[in-house]
Amino acid sequence: MINRLDRFVYLKGRQIKAEYRDQIVEAYQGNPFIEALPCRLSQDQLFQMLYSVPRFTGDINRLNSEERVELVQQIKPSYWQPLSTHFERYRNLYNMIKIGYQSRNPLTPIYQRQMAIGLDRILAAGTDEFGRNLAGNLQTAQQMADIGLSGMGKSKSYERILSLFPQVIHHSEYHREPFPCKQVVWLHIECPSNKSVGALCRNFYWAVDKLLGTTYYEDLAEKDGRAEVLAKRMSKVAGQISLGVLVIDEIQRINRGYSGGDEKMIDFITELTNSIGIPIVLIGTFKALYLFKSSLANTRRGIPDGYAENITDRMRDDWEWELFLKGMWDLQYTNKFTALTPDLKAAMYFHSLGIPDFAVKLFMHVQCRAILYEDEEEITVNLIEEVANKTFRLVQPIFQRIRGGEEIDPAEYEDLKPDWISFKEYLMEAQHRITIDGNLSEEHKLILLQHNRRILIDQLTVFAMKMGCSGDVALTYAEKIEVQNRDAGNDIELLYLEIAKLVFENKSNVSKETEEVEEKTKQKKKPTKIKNPDLDESDIRFIVSQGNLNNMTIDEALRDSGLVGEYDEFV
Amino acid sequence: MNRLKDGRGQGQGESYIPYIQANDNKVASEGWLTRTPGWHSNRIHHTLSKYEYQYFLVQEWTDQITDIREQYPLPYEDTQRIAEKLNIRHPHLDGHDVVLTSDFMLTVIDDNDSLNDQARTFKPIHKLTKRTLELFEIERRYYKEVGIQWKVVFDVGRPINLIKNIDWLHDAKRADTRPGMDSEVVNMIAEPIFEKLKQYNTKLSISKSCLRCDDHIGLEPGTSMFMVKHMLANKRWVTDMTVLIRESAPLVIDLPGQREMK
């Protein structure tokens, strides 16, 4: 059971008792859900709340190098420089929540009518041409998408901004009338990796259950259905818990294959906002862009009016970048403080390309390196370059292209990120360096080599699988070939050739062996019984997939091939 | 497994026992367990969903069908072998393989007047998944091997008026289901009731006509209505079954021969 629960990652927030505040906007007055929300923060206040640096008040020079490396490690989790985009996000989010609740005032007759009609029926009926639902209520929910490079701090900023809001507000009395109600202001869920829309829904139920102690997971999670059904069920629950905003993170992880194609994904997402009116924020990397491109082109899909899209590319070399870098630059734990010169600034931008995550990592690595190996603990342009070339070795080629002014599909450099040498490995390697001084560069090479080796094996495995091997077999082939040809260097063509040979040899061997075996068993089995189920043209799965190619639904495909009986075929 | 030893899934007509019965605590996907006395087989039929029940009703109405065996089990060894060959996971419960059943095994009179088994599996369209297709494929292959025609039945395009009408008159098929009735009484009162109803039927609703008829002939109230259902169920009287029968509306009833003449 524990494993099962581990899958679900979600952000947890505060729970508070409701306190009601007067509202300026007339439409908001008398709505306990809105009046219970915290006051809007000004830009200054927000920056005060968000700004954070690792805290250290002692004298750096009295610490030894190991202790200072420990401090360096604190930069990544704690350093947070609020930027203007963060305020924008906050404003958007705050507005979305308020506006979303506007149409859901629990004290109005129309809300009661919705409850009386039943959310099921409202969802089923959809909206009329004015956007009103069955109860005549006009939904005010908005939808927002936040797309950006990984490492831009999207998720982080939402996490920080969301934690400024209470997560659950407990209402008990409103204007001396009893009003027992739990209001869930926000819910942040992450898409499980490479899973379907269904898994996302389960994640949602699980988060709600953890929050409120309900049993939605048990009741609803294992029921399957089409995307529309899942979405309806989910928005129904969201309506029941008076959800303010639903934040779905890592939306790019939803696998198109599992979920029945792009179309269905888009349907699912629009269904969620349309009828019940829950504001939704979708966060994802450029890989998720496909979800939005076509939806925007296609207005009949009923994207709500209040749809906002926020696409973040890497930072430009302007005042914000300077602010970010300056703030970080103060966090030096070297025994000599290096001031930020224009040259250093340029070098940092050049090597990190203005991606905050890269910049922070680079800065940390540079400091580590300075503290552990350099005689003078000083940050220089040369040092930055040296470290960057090592740390970002695998992304260098693409970085070069970007620097060369080439237009690159952002989705392309996405894939490279996981291949960095992580900070831990870097440190591990560093330890070795101190103890076995002479072998430094060899050690370093080894780590890189192993890294490359794994990538190579992956490539070869994929290749072998394309040639029709099963996963396990493909992997053994790939490893074998890689070991045999390690001296051959990086001639990947040669390796592919070798794999191909191996696959063909073994294939013919296998078929010979099976033939021999069959002969030995006294020809009990007829030779036609060669295992190849996929070639049977009357196989239902084949029929359906063929039908799919011709844009037929499953039932149409089956009907077309005469496999469907009508109720009254014998009457 | 033990169910097969209990005689489940075996026999024919009256002696057939469905492999899965409504009282098995089997998870009925739609929560529609029904136990209905059958016309063809003279035994209680078990259907596990609304749509299965409706399909069952239509087959009951059909004269071409002589027996309906629902929840018909496929031989375990065969389905396992097929599943293995296709590299499909055999249906299982908590890791143990379970017997695969087809929803209906129909005995049909074909054009040469000989009896013929045909299998049908019901599936609502929205429940079609990759997995159901795999299970379909196991069934299809099995029935191909044994030479039985097999088809899928979907919930779309079902003749809903016909179904509702059959449901309405289904329990009146046998005269003795109503106290004090038997085939002798039926034969005695059929003609007077028919004559009387013919007089009323253009203006009055069928329920009022029947009550008047009861009153006029001196029968217990409700008898005429039962007679209408009974005679229609046995096809001794006929009406247009594709039009929804409502008790609050007039109903045109004819004798079989007359109707064809019109």
CB proximity list for A291: less than 8 A, separation 6 or greater: A145, A251, A262, A265, A266, A269, A282, A284
Inspect the interface and report whether the beta carbons of B158 and A567 lie closer than 8 Å: yes
User: Could you say which of A554, A562, A570 has the minimum Cβ distance to residue B128?
Assistant: A554
A4 occurs within a structural domain: no
Greater confidence, B152 or B20? Answer: B152
In chain A, the number of structural domains is 4
Can you give the pLDDT at residue A493? 66
Domain assignment present for residue A306? The answer is yes
Q: Residues near A468 by Cβ (< 8 Å), separated by ≥ 6? A: A503, A507
Identify whether residues A169 and A22 lie together within a single domain. yes
Does the structure show a pLDDT above 50 at A342?
A: yes
pLDDT of A223 higher than 60: yes
Q: Determine, for residues B133 and A541 on separate chains, whether the beta-carbon distance falls below 8 Å.
A: yes
Together in a domain, A90 and A71: no
Q: Using an 8 Å Cβ cutoff, are B239 and B251 in contact?
A: yes
Name the residue in chain B with its Cα closest to that of A562.
B151
* Secondary structure of residue A219 in the 3-state scheme: helix
| pTM beyond 0.90, yes or no | no
* A535 in reach of chain B (CB within 8 A): no
Q: How far is CA A471 from CA A338, A461, A510, B134, in A?
A: 52, 8, 16, 22
Q: How far B151 CA sits from the closest chain A CA (Å)?
A: 5
Predicted confidence at residue A426, as pLDDT, reads: 39
With tokens 């048990």, the residue in question is A218
Residue A234 near residue A174 (C-beta atoms within 8 A): no
Location of structure tokens 């001396």: A176
Same domain, A301 and A190: yes
Q: Is A283 helix (H, G, I), strand (E, B) or coil?
A: strand
Domain boundary (A312, A341, A365) is at: A312
Asked whether residue A418 is assigned to any structural domain, the reply reads: no
List the one residue out of A305, A164, A139, A337 whose CA is nearest residue A238. Answer: A139
| pLDDT band at residue B143 using 50, 70 and 90 as cut-offs | very high
- Chain B residues within 8 A of A566 when measuring between CB atoms: 153, 157-158
Q: Are residues A33 and A59 in the same domain?
A: no
A491 and A502: one domain? yes
A425 within domain boundaries: no
A532 touching B (Cβ < 8 Å)? no
Per-residue confidence (pLDDT) for residue A304, from 0 to 100:
41
Three-class DSSP category at A336: coil
pLDDT at A425 (0 to 100): 43
Residue among A147, A148, A138, A143 at smallest CA distance from A95: A143
Residue range A177-212, pLDDT digits in tens: 888 888 999 988 887 765 677 777 888 888 888 888
Q: Select the more confidently predicted residue: A296 or B146.
A: B146
Q: Does A78 lie in the same domain as A25?
A: no
- Nearest CB neighbour to A563, from listed B58, B134, B151: B151
Backbone angles phi, psi at A148, to 5 degrees: -165, 170
Whether A35 and A49 share a structural domain: no
pLDDT higher for B113 or A445? B113
Q: State whether A191 and A267 are in the same domain.
A: yes
Distance from CA of A31 to the nearest CA of B (A): 40
Judge if A462 and A490 occupy the same domain. Answer: yes
Domain that holds residue A475: 438-511
| Nearest chain B Cα distance for residue A510, angstroms | 18
Mean pLDDT of all residues belonging to chain A: 71
Average pLDDT over residues A22-50: 84
Distance from CA of B250 to the nearest CA of A (A): 25
Residue of chain B with shortest Cα separation from A563: B151
Please indicate, yes or no, if residue A420 is contained in any of the structural domains: no
The C-alpha of B36 sits at a distance from chain A's nearest C-alpha, in angstroms, of 18
Note whether A423 and A362 are within 8 A (CB).
Answer: no
Give the pLDDT mean for A140-153: 69
A495 touches A485 (CB < 8 A) = yes
On whether both A33 and A64 belong to a single domain, the answer is: no
Last residue of a domain, one of A495, A511, A527: A511
Could you report the per-residue pLDDT of A239-260, keeping only the tens digit for each? 888 888 888 888 777 666 555 5
pLDDT, tens only, A395-434: 677 677 767 665 555 555 554 443 333 333 433 433 333 3
Q: CATH number of the domain that A137 lies in?
A: 3.40.50.300
Residue in chain A closest to B150 (alpha carbons) equals: A563
Inter-chain CB proximity A568 and B159 less than 8 Å: yes
| A268-291 pLDDT, tens digit each | 666 666 655 677 888 877 666 666
A415 assigned to some structural domain? no
Q: What is the structure's pLDDT at A523?
A: 42
% of chain B residues with pLDDT over 70: 91
In a domain, residue A410? The reply is no
The whole-number average pLDDT for the span A41-46 is 82
What pLDDT is attached to residue A309? 57
Nearest CA in chain A to B88: A533
Average pLDDT, chain B: 83
Tell me which of A331, A362, A392 is where a domain ends. Answer: A392
Any B CB within 8 A of A564 CB = yes
Same domain, A68 and A159: no
Of A544, A566, A568, which has the smallest distance from its Cβ to B133's Cβ? Answer: A544
Which residues numbered 46-75 in B keep a CB inside 8 Å of some CB on A?
54-55, 58-59, 61-62, 64-65
Tell me if A154 sits within 8 A of A356, measured CB to CB: no
Which two three-digit tokens encode residue B96?
């143990």
A226 — contact with chain B (CB < 8 Å)?
yes
Asked whether residue A429 is domain-assigned, the answer is: no
Dump pLDDT digits (tens) for A521-533: 444 433 333 344 4
DSSP-assigned beta bridge partners for residue B65: B108
- A155 and A35 in a common domain: yes
Strands B101-109 and B115-123, sheet pairing: antiparallel
In this prediction, residue A4 has a pLDDT band, given cuts at 50, 70 and 90, of very low
Q: Is any Cβ of chain B less than 8 angstroms from the Cβ of A540?
A: yes
